[in-house]
Amino acid sequence: MGLGVAEREQIAKRAASEIKQGMIVNLGIGIPSLVPNFLPSDMQVMLQAENGVLGIGESPHKGEEDKHLCNAAGYPVRAVKGASYFDTTMSFAMIRRGKIDITILGALQVSRSGDLANWLVPGKKVPGMGGAMELAQKAKKVVVVMSHTDQKGRPKLTETCTLPLTAAGCVDLIITEKAVLEVDGHHFILKELMNGSTIDEVTRLTEAEIKIDMPFSEKGE
C-alpha cells in the first residue's frame, strides 16, 4: 500500500528541515517536489531543476499555472525573485562541478552502505537513469525520502541492493514514514521515530542491522 497524503507531506516537511539558508538545492520527483511548500517564507535558498531553472518556488494553485514554467518532471512551478534560466548543458555542469549543496531524491532501495537504487522498476519501461546518477555522486549531501517498505511490504532498507544501482555509497540520510536514519558507510543509524512508530517496528521492517542513536526520552522507555 502506498503512502497517504498526510504521510507524504510529513516526510517532505521533515526533509525541508535539512535545507539551510543560502543553499542550492535539487529536488527529485514525487515527495521531493512537495518540499518547497514547507520552507520558511523568509529563507533564502535557490532550488534547481535539471531542465534549466534555478529559483523554483512553491507549487502554483490550480488555475495559476504557467505552461512555460515547469520542473524536471514536467509539473508546473513558480519562480522566485532572482530566478534564472539556462540550457541543460549548464544545468548538468552545475551538478557535475559539485555546486549542489543538497539533493532530495526518492528511492526503490537503499543499502546499509549507502548504495542507491532509484531508477529501474522490474517489468516496467523507463526512459533511463536521468540526472539522479550525477546528483547522487556530486551533491554535497544526499537525502532519500521514501516509504519504508514497498507495495508488497518488503523492506526498502536492505543489506545490499538487489536492483540496479544509481550510485554507490552516496546516501547520507533517509526519511520514511517510520523513521529518520543516517548512513555511516556501514550501518543504518536510527535518529528519530516518525508517526508513533517504535524501535521494534522499524527494526522488523528493515532488512539490515540498525544502530540506535536517539535521546533516551524518544525511545519510549
What predicted TM-score, i.e. pTM, was given to this entire model? 0.92
Cβ proximity of 101 and 140 under 8 Å:
yes
pLDDT in tens, 21-48: 999 999 988 899 889 889 998 899 999 9
Distance between CA 170 and CA 173 in Å, rounded? Answer: 10
Q: Which of 50, 159, 207, 221 is catalytic?
A: 50
Q: Are 178 and 146 in contact (CB under 8 A)?
A: no
Domain 5-219: CATH class, spelled out: alpha beta
Q: Which residues contact 19 (CB under 8 A, 6 or more apart)?
A: 25, 35, 39, 43, 45, 102
Active site residue 50: yes
User: What phi and psi, each to the nearest 5 degrees, are found at residue 69?
Assistant: -125, 110
* Banded model confidence at residue 68, pLDDT cuts 50, 70, 90: confident
Query: Is 8 exposed, middle or buried (CB count within 10 Å of its CB: 0-12, 13-18, 19+)?
Result: middle
How large is the average pLDDT for residues 98-105?
A: 97
Position 43, amino acid: M
pLDDT of residue 128: 67
Interval 191-203: pLDDT, tens: 999 999 999 999 9
Domain ranges of the chain: 5-219
Residues 170-184 pLDDT 10s: 999 999 999 999 999
Residue 105 pairs with which residues in a beta bridge? 144
